[in-house]
Amino acid sequence: EDQVTQSPEALRLQEGESSSLNCSYTVSGLRGLFWYRQDPGKGPEFLFTLYSAGEEKEKERLKATLTKKESFLHITAPKPEDSATYLCAVQADDYKLSFGAGTTVTVRA
Amino acid sequence: DVKVTQSSRYLVKRTGEKVFLECVQDMDHENMFWYRQDPGLGLRLIYFSYDVKMKEKGDIPEGYSVSREKKERFSLILESASTNQTSMYLCASSSTRTDVSYGYTFGSGTRLTVV
């Protein structure tokens, strides 16, 4: 069974304090690893897809990396507007997405 | 701007009622999905559909059914609502079964409370 584990569950940062979120996974035949951002009361919003180990993608202050067993989402010099829950998901050979429980990030000014 | 629209943001229903949650996408996507999201459990797949009139069970289908009569519309039905079905329900769509480039597009969710 595909498993996705995110850590930490919650992360409180000071504005400008860089940090990383972890997503570890076990999956049979990884087709893609996804990162989403979810604001309170809203649906998840797509950020990145990573396909293979060694791949990196960036968007503003966010950078996602992928190894064979885990992915990291690095937040560089975060701002209060980066406060959200970040979700990781994997797509396996059956094409379905399996999600982690998320990391809730709070950035204080 | 592509959209997945869920008909209700908030619903309160009584135990035993039949509940319909509606989802419409305007992107001509083939695939549509229903998830529920609970604190600490993440998103769990209830049902999905890769084509009109086609449906497949996800990981937690018990107590639910779905209908997809048109490509753009995917309905989730709670046959007899129970309090353990109180949750946030999220609808999503994706272009094709194999295209993973853009992941899924999600609706804003329906927060259902069963009393």
CA-closest candidate to residue B46, choices B88, B17, B4, B107? B88
Torsion, Cα of A82, A84, A90, A94 (10° steps): -130
- Cβ atoms of B42 and A97 closer than 8 Å: no
Interface test with B, best of A9, A71, A96 (most B CBs within 10 A): A96
- pLDDT per residue over B14-49, tens digit each? 999 999 999 999 989 999 999 999 988 889 999 999
A97 at the B interface (CB within 8 A)? yes
Neighbours of A19 (CB within 10 A): 17
For residue A52 the two structure tokens come to: 């293979």
DSSP B103: -
pLDDT in single tens digits along all 109 residues of chain A:
778 999 999 999 999 999 999 999 998 888 899 999 999 989 999 999 999 999 999 999 999 999 999 999 999 999 999 999 999 999 987 778 899 999 999 999 9
What confidence tens digit (pLDDT) does each residue in B71-99 have?
999 999 999 999 999 999 999 999 876 77
Cα separation of B68 and A85, whole Å? 31
Q: Give the Cα separation of A67 and B107 in Å (integer).
A: 30
CB A64 within 8 A of CB A72: yes
The β-bridge relationship of strands B87-94 and B110-114 is antiparallel
Q: List chain B residues with CB under 8 Å of A93.
A: none
Q: Contact A49/B45, CB-based, under 8 Å?
A: no
CA pair distance A23, A76, nearest whole angstrom: 17
